[in-house]
């Protein structure tokens, strides 16, 4: 008797179209003998067979699974990344939203996803993460992590946040700003991109520091070694700020707080169905105009 195989499903179920896509995915996998496990809270509103395993969540929710399937937009994919990092399982994203840079398939690819999952026909790619520390008066008061970015932001709309930035223990600049984004290459196409940061190919190992609306002559995005330690200090006489990790988890930063970011000790593993160059993904996701490209000339 063959060993039972189980995948963990995380889905955005807030829209009717998404519900139907998730139901189609579940029925397709069950038909091929792949068991499904999902959070009980996400099963509400879905028309699912009784055989689908529903769990309350928490530590160990994905124990015994071979893969995490995530169907939704960017926010859902980042939620799936939390479970992927905790469990060490690869995550395969299906984009049901708009951009979905972390996704490997689109809504129309559900049949292909089922086929590839059944055959375990995918490559695993490790994505760099960030380990994040918050210090006050030298003491560590908060620890977190991020796949895309850790962003230090102002809490009051009417007041700028005064900060000093630092790389590898040396000061770089101080300025007033709306915030500073500390990003991985994966996050270079997320918040850092909106702030004017460079797009960094995923295979490039680096850390990014991108000021947001800084009032300074020198407030350019910086790209540093992946072994660097980046820090942002909230000035003592400035209003408090907020630290956001991947736009999902937040903690208040009192005046004088210091945020330190370094390469994460635990990567997030992504399941890849396609070996297409990142350049093609960039063009497709952002609908970049490439009309007129002639490519390499013919070799005589």
**Does 131 count as an annotated binding residue?**
no
Distance (Å, whole) CA 252 – CA 209: 20
Told to judge if 74 belongs to the known catalytic residues of this protein, a careful annotator would answer: yes
Structure tokens at 242: 């907020």
Distance (Å, whole) CA 177 – CA 232: 12
**Does 149 count as an annotated binding residue?**
yes
Phi-psi region of 258 (alpha: psi -120 to 50; beta: other; left: phi over 0): beta
- Reduce the DSSP state of residue 279 to 3 states and report it: helix
16 CA to centre of own chain: 25
**Does 108 count as an annotated binding residue?**
no
Of 233, 10, 219, nearest to 133 (Cα)?
Answer: 233
Stretch (H or E) spanning 3? none
**Does 126 count as an annotated binding residue?**
no
**Does 189 count as an annotated binding residue?**
yes
CB distance 155 to 243 below 8 Å: no
**Does 50 count as an annotated binding residue?**
no
First-residue to last-residue Cα distance in the chain: 59
**Does 66 count as an annotated binding residue?**
no
Question: What 3 state SS string does 63-97 have?
Answer: CCCCEEEEEECHHHHHHHHHHHHHHCCCEEEEECC
Enumerate helices (H) and strands (E) in the chain, giving the number of each. 6, 20
> Which residues share a beta bridge with 129?
none
Q: Which position among 47, 50, 63, 74 bears the catalytic label?
A: 74
**Does 97 count as an annotated binding residue?**
no
**Does 292 count as an annotated binding residue?**
no
**Does 197 count as an annotated binding residue?**
no
**Does 176 count as an annotated binding residue?**
no
Question: Annotated binding residues for NAD(+), as ranges?
Answer: 74-75, 79, 148-149, 159, 178, 189-194
Binding-site residue positions: 74-75, 79, 148-149, 159, 178, 189-194
| Catalytic residue positions, numbered | 74
């Amino acid at each position: 008797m063959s060993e039972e195989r189980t995948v963990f499903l995380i889905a955005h179920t807030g829209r009717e179209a998404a519900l139907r896509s998730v139901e189609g995915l579940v029925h397709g996998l069950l038909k091929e003998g792949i068991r499904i496990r999902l959070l009980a809270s996400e099963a509400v509103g879905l028309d699912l067979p009784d055989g689908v395993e529903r769990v309350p969540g928490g530590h160990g929710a994905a124990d015994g699974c071979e893969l995490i399937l995530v169907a939704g937009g960017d926010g859902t994919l980042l939620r799936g990344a939390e479970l992927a990092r905790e469990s060490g399982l690869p995550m395969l994203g299906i984009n049901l939203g708009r951009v979905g840079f972390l996704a490997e398939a689109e809504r129309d690819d559900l049949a292909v996803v089922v086929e590839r999952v059944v055959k375990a026909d995918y490559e695993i790619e490790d994505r760099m993460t960030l380990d994040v520390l918050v210090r006050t008066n030298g003491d560590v008061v908060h620890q977190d992590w991020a796949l895309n970015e850790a962003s230090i932001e102002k809490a009051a709309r009417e007041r700028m946040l005064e900060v000093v930035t630092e790389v590898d223990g040396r000061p770089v600049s101080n300025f007033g700003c709306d915030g500073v984004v500390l990003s991985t290459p994966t996050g270079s196409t997320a918040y850092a991109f909106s702030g004017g940061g460079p797009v960094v190919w995923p295979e490039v190992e680096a850390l990014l520091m991108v000021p947001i609306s800084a009032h300074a002559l020198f407030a350019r995005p910086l790209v540093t070694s992946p072994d660097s330690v980046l820090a942002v200090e909230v000035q003592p006489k400035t209003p408090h700020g907020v630290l956001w990790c991947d736009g999902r988890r937040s903690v208040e930063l009192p005046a004088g707080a210091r945020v330190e970011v370094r390469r994460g000790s635990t990567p997030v593993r992504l399941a890849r169905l396609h070996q297409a160059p990142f350049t093609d993904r960039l063009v497709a996701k952002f609908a970049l105009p490439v009309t007129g490209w002639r490519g390499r000339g013919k070799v005589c």
